[in-house]
Amino acid sequence: ILLEKVGITSEVQFLRIMMDGIPPLEDKHLFIKDLRFEKVKVRIYQPKIPTTGQSRGIIYFHGGVGLFGSILTQYDYGKTLSLLFRYRLAPEHPYPTQFEDCLTATIHFMRTAHDYGVDPSRIIICGDSSGGTLTAAVAQALVNRRDLPKLRAQILIYPFLQSINFNLPSYQQNKGVPILLKQRTLALGLKYLNRDMSIIEAVSKHSHIPEDLQLKYQKWVNPDYIPHEFKTRGYKPSTTHPFSEEIYTLVKPVFDTVFSPLIAEDSVIAQLPEAFILTCEFDVLRDDGLLYKKRLEDHGIKVTWCHLQEGFHGTVFLAFWGRAIAFQSGNKGLKKIVNFLRLM
């Protein structure tokens, strides 16, 4: 980014200023309240029209790679109580604080849902981009919690789900497509972990993955599992590069399932709730969503899939802001999400 190059501010600082400067969207149909669930800031949007019986509740994790993001966006989902979590950000609060905050606040709400007029069996978690990562990770963390109600569903909007292969077809085809260029994806991921940018090239060439892990994960992260129609814009199988123990040690957290939920064990995947997965054709993360869809379906988990043929990363976020900056693809995606929620 130009400002960073001339030393005025960093990209992350600039994006934080931009996000924090966005005024809250007001909606005459919603009550808005700011609370704390333990250490986590929460904004609650509640329909003004009283409902008969308990409503559904949706928890939203914003994107921003754990470095920036906003809780100021919201959409009226009808008879739904919505919660947006302002989890603490890196690098001031190092990874995995962001996941821990989301999990803590989610558990708090699941235990107190009745206090907000929400049916505990109708709680849905949702997130876009890295918020989709957090959604998948929180859903996985809850599968063995017998002291809590089961999540009703998870909604993943163009999620980042793996750090094993950065040369999947979608990474190759969309490496230069705004807003999420391949190089920016890697750079922001390393900033999130507070690692030096000098290792981007090595990570891009997969020098961070030891052979035993390559063999283990190729059954889940494999371009062979991407349907042929998603390779027609061009795809060249990547060549292997020498493994670096030093690089592996530096980026070892990327092999946590909190960072890369796609590589969770089968025993976890098999217990996950129903899912809605949205992917965009012009997005480096498209194939992460496709591969997670396959993993869930292979274990009998119901998946509602929405693919935006003209979509790009961030298009649904823009749709939250209405006609002024929305694209047709984002409006379509948002409508599909709302329709899915109404069935919950």
In a domain, 176, yes or no: no
63 lies in some domain: yes
283 counts as catalytic: yes
According to the model, what pLDDT value does residue 18 have?
47
| Residue at 194 is within a domain | no
What is the separation, in whole angstroms, between the first and last Cα of the chain?
42
Q: Is residue 77 part of a domain?
A: yes
Which pLDDT score is estimated for 21? 46
Catalytic residue among 101, 283, 287, 288: 283
Joined tokens for residue 336: 């599909």
The contacts of residue 228 (CB under 8 Å, 6+ apart) are: none
Specify the number of domains making up the chain: 1
Q: Residue 266 is part of which domain span? A: 1-164+250-343
Helical ranges in 182-233 per DSSP H: 182-192, 200-204, 211-217
Rounded to whole angstroms, the Cα distance separating 229 from 255 reads 29
Which of the following is catalytic: 129, 170, 244, 329? 129
Q: Is residue 94 part of a domain?
A: yes
Tell me if the pTM is above 0.85: yes
pLDDT of residue 6: 47
Q: How far is CA 317 from CA 62, 75, 103, 334, in A?
A: 10, 10, 23, 9
CATH number at residue 267: 3.40.50.1820
pLDDT in tens, the chain (344 residues): 555 654 544 655 544 444 454 555 566 778 889 999 998 999 999 888 777 778 999 999 999 988 877 665 555 555 578 999 999 999 999 999 999 999 999 999 999 999 999 999 999 999 999 999 999 999 999 999 999 999 999 999 999 999 999 999 999 999 999 999 999 999 999 999 999 999 999 999 999 999 999 999 999 999 999 999 999 998 999 887 899 999 999 999 999 999 999 999 999 999 999 999 999 999 999 999 999 999 999 999 999 999 999 999 999 988 876 666 779 999 999 999 999 999 99
| Percent of the chain that is helix, strand, coil (3-state, to 5) | 40, 20, 45
DSSP H or E segment with residue 317: helix 315-319
In a domain, 174, yes or no: no
For residue 321, being part of any structural domain is answered with: yes
Residue 72 · residue 24 · CB < 8 Å: yes
Q: Is there a domain that residue 184 lies in?
A: no
- pLDDT per residue as tens digits for the range 43-98: 999 888 777 778 999 999 999 988 877 665 555 555 578 999 999 999 999 999 99
User: To 10 degrees, what angle do helices 130-141 and 97-112 make?
Assistant: 60
